[in-house]
Chain A
Amino acid sequence: MEEENYQDIQLTVETAIANLQQQEDLGQRYYAAWWLGRFRVKESRAITALIMALEDEEDRAPDGGYPLRRNAARALGKLGDKQAVEPLIRCLSFPDYYVREAAAQALEMLQDPRAITPLSKLLEGGLAAAQTVPGKPHLVQPYEAIIEALGGLKATSAITKCREAIALIEPFLEHFLPKVKYAAAKAMYQLTQNPVYGELLIKALSGDELQLRRSALMDLGASGYLPGAEAIATTLAENSLKLMALKGLLEHQLNQDSSITEETIRLMDLMDGLL
């Protein structure tokens, strides 16, 4: 929990924005960007300063990455201001993998259909291109974040764009990394509502590795696939995670109909049993 370490540092909106704009202390800029996102500072001066920080050249990590850009992108996702959409789309072609990942996640949060085509482009080349970068702990692109963002952007997308995304995501059901596979199954379910993909995630819940069960659990919760509720409640993982996954299913239901129904009661009964 990185966030806990910062609790003793007091900032105000004014000082945070000033810290972000100054050039001397890189640590303070980095922290200010995180802080503005953490405390949901939606003032336009904060947005402007964060958008500027997406193009920062000063703050460089030993691996050549751009720590401030990463934090600024994450913060902009939390602040919900559409002004950030185009600048974040530009980040998708930046050289730093982690900036691209943070931008994909932020674009999902901003729920703007302009992001669909640029995100889809990163999937071109399919499985053949989706390999590990030699000497790095990651793939060529942040596929998991890209695919999740496309699944999550469904509500705001036009049908034709949706179809394009589906065709590009489908091959990733066969990716060699289980987490990418699950992200593809979740997105395919979100985009098509075909239970086949929900069942793929349920099957993943009976895998041997706890880490992967956890991952599938979260994906199933986020997918909104209601028949997955019992499988979530009975898989071998921590109750805290199962409760979060069931909360995901419940919220999905409540978004469509906020009244108490047979389905929502069933979900809450399962949650009660896991306390």
Chain B
Amino acid sequence: MIDSTPALIEAVATADSAKALLAAVEALAARQDPLAIPTLIAVLGYNNPGAAVAAVEGLVALGEPVIPQLLEQIDTYNYGARAWAVRVFARIGDPCALDLLIDSALNDFSQSVRRAAAKGLGNILWHKLPQTEVASTQERVFTTLVQILSDGEWVVRYAAIVGLESLALTSEYLVPKVIVQLETMAATESDSTLRARIALALQKVVNHIKFGERGRGEG
């Protein structure tokens, strides 16, 4: 039974099949040891979707300590690795990665990256920013999400609605502006799925103001 982190790292490095790699990455991810971070980041560049998903889960679970290392390593990486990294940033929500998330949500060619980034923009850990920067940064995220509401892919628009909903739930002063944007979109959007998601977002946001934390706002 392998159980030390270095042994698990070694198992990832020497895996000789896709299946063995997946098993090794899952074991390493499950260990939740910050020492595993560089190895898990490296796996994002292996062009092996199964292993990358496991590595993303491991990195997300490790949380904030991952961010500086991932930011440092990402630029020299290939596109695939960058796309997986965006998903990690989106899930952790550290404001250090905000510029990258905004750029990815607006400009990435892959809809799966744009949608992950758009959702992530609604989940930023605002307490990690200096109090003086919070309002202006939230405003910037809001403006970005509004732009993404007109993405050509339904699923990215869907993610932008989810992002705006989450943003409104964490930033009360944006609530009226979010409501106006969602209502404007509802009036012109022809896709029934998106209209339903807008209706749900409006319901959650309005309930949140009415009933505060007792509402069903945290869904």
Residue-wise interface mask of B (39-83) relative to A, using a CB-CB cutoff of 8 A (1 in contact, 0 not): 000000000000000000000000000000000000000000000
A258 touching B193 in the complex, CB below 8 Å, given contacts A240-B111, A240-B155, A275-B162: no
B195-219: CB near A (< 8 Å → 1, else 0) gives 1110110010000000000000001
Chain A residues, CB < 8 A from B118: 275
Kindly identify which residue among B119, B159, B162, B192 contacts A254, using a CB–CB cutoff of 8 Å. Answer: B192
Interface of B is mostly: helix
Q: Determine if B196 and A250 form an interchain contact, defined as CB atoms under 8 angstroms apart.
A: yes
Q: Is the interface of A mostly helix, strand, loop or mixed?
A: helix
Query: Are A269 and B119 in contact, with the CB atoms below 8 A?
Result: no
A167 at the interface (CB under 8 A from B): no
Size category of the A interface is 10 to 19
Indicate if the CB atoms of A254 and B196 lie closer than 8 Å: yes
| A275-B159, A275-B162 as given contacts; A258 in contact with B116, CB under 8 Å | no
Chain B residues in 8 Å Cβ range of A251: 192-193
Are B200 and A260 closer than 8 Å at their CB atoms?
A: yes
Encode contact with A along B3-22: 1 for CB under 8 Å, 0 otherwise: 00000000000000000000
The interface size bin for chain B is 20 to 34
Whether, in the assembled complex, A247 has its beta carbon less than 8 Å from a beta carbon of chain B, the answer is yes
A-B contact pairs, 18 of them (CB 8 A): A238-B112, A239-B112, A240-B112, A243-B158, A247-B154, A250-B192, A250-B196, A254-B192, A254-B193, A258-B196, A264-B196, A265-B200, A268-B196, A269-B219, A272-B119, A272-B162, A275-B159, A275-B162
Known: A238-B112, A275-B158. 9 other contacts (CB 8 A): A240-B112, A250-B196, A251-B192, A255-B192, A260-B200, A265-B200, A272-B162, A275-B118, A275-B155
Question: What residues make up the interface of A, taking CB atoms closer than 8 Å to B?
Answer: 238-240, 243, 247, 250-251, 254-255, 258, 260, 264-265, 268-269, 271-272, 275
